[in-house]
Amino acid sequence: MTVVIGRIYTKTSPLLFLNLFQNLKILSRIQEILNSIQDDKIKNMEILKNEPLSKHTFYGVGGLADELWKVDDAESFAEVWAETQAKKIPFLILGKGSNLLCSDAGFRGRVFSLEFKKITWNAPSLFRKEGAGGRFVTVEAGKPWQEFVEETNKKGYEDLCNLSGIPGNFGGFVRGNAGAFGLETGDFVQTVEFLDSNGKRKIFTKEQCEFGYRESIFKHHPEYCILRATLQLKQKAEPDQSLQKTRTLLADRWKKYPPGKSGGSFFKNPSPARGDVLSETEEPHEKLFAGKLLEEAGAKGDQIGHAQISERHANFIVNLEGKATQENILALARKWKQKVHEKFGITLEPEIMILDEYGKKIQV
């Protein structure tokens, strides 16, 4: 066989020609890998292998995740989301890591940390109602909630002051309809943009979101990934006064929180009407408080392993010295759920999301 290399003519065996062809295939594969790396940079994603979830959750609990994806751009996420769904790869949207208790065994799949956080004021919308007052602001899911509240204050709005001091990201607030002092995130939402299981972008109106007490349609459709939402703000105020109000409420709230690692309030507040948890449509007026019921049942200070019911607030389970396991915390929660039921006939339900290593919810 004769091979032409430049202007040099040489005879070579079929075996050498095969080796040359294989080397070209290897070079081609290397180029594909380099292109893939470049694509990852373009998509603004970093993938961490065998990453401890304990580093990414407020509880400080959780074993190694197979993959933790840091996603910095909402627009480039759709393809990865669709692929994850199509291949039925277990997934978890991490957010800020509050209100989440992960498995000691870690996570066998993809954990997505959504870190895109742009804010757009008065963004155009097809769903905006004619003559609607106030000002509209569109916020991406990864925006830390407290930062967002303070930015609205600086723009001269105080609508969200009472929701300051609650840990979490914007997307988590919308998903769980977080609230305090009679206000809920859903009160302000106009539209929510999300990815469906095919990676297609869709928009729900406020009504379609089905907001209820600590509920929304997104809690029941994990295949929906919130990208951003548009809120309507109406309460004008002097920026300095508004910001001061927020920071005062923030300081007051943190004084009530127990020190140490905790995921926040463990149980939802129950409904006084039925001695049961609130449904999606009930309003928590004149509600009972889970913390008060737990305190009266004698929960404060009780401990299993390194998990302890806080001495300061009975609805907080604290991870002592960062050594508590999911098993410790679950055992303690189950114990006091049962005792509250025995004493008051009331069934407490968790506000915390508790997951096994495949992303399945664990019952308390």
Query: Which residues are known to be catalytic?
Result: 214, 265, 351
The answer to whether the beta carbons of residues 146 and 171 sit under 8 Å apart is no
The answer to whether the beta carbons of residues 185 and 178 sit under 8 Å apart is yes
Q: What angle separates helix 290-297 from helix 326-344, to the nearest 10 degrees?
A: 80
Q: Tell me phi and psi for residue 12, to 5 degrees.
A: -145, 160
The three-state (H, E, C) secondary structure of 3-33, written as one string: EEECCEEEECCHHHHHHHHHHHHHHHHHHHH
The answer to whether the beta carbons of residues 310 and 258 sit under 8 Å apart is yes
Q: Using the Cα atoms of residue 34, residue 37, residue 39 and residue 42 in order, give the sign of their dihedral.
A: negative
- Beta strands (DSSP E) in the chain are 2-5, 8-11, 45-52, 64-71, 91-93, 100-101, 107-114, 119-121, 135-140, 179-180, 183-184, 189-195, 201-205, 225-233, 270-271, 276-277, 303-304, 307-309, 317-319, 353-354
* Distance (Å) of CA 111 to CA 20, 180, 194, 273: 42, 29, 18, 39
23 contact partners, CB below 8 Å, separation of at least 6: none
Which residues share a beta bridge with 139? Answer: 119, 229
H or E segment to which residue 170 belongs: helix 170-176
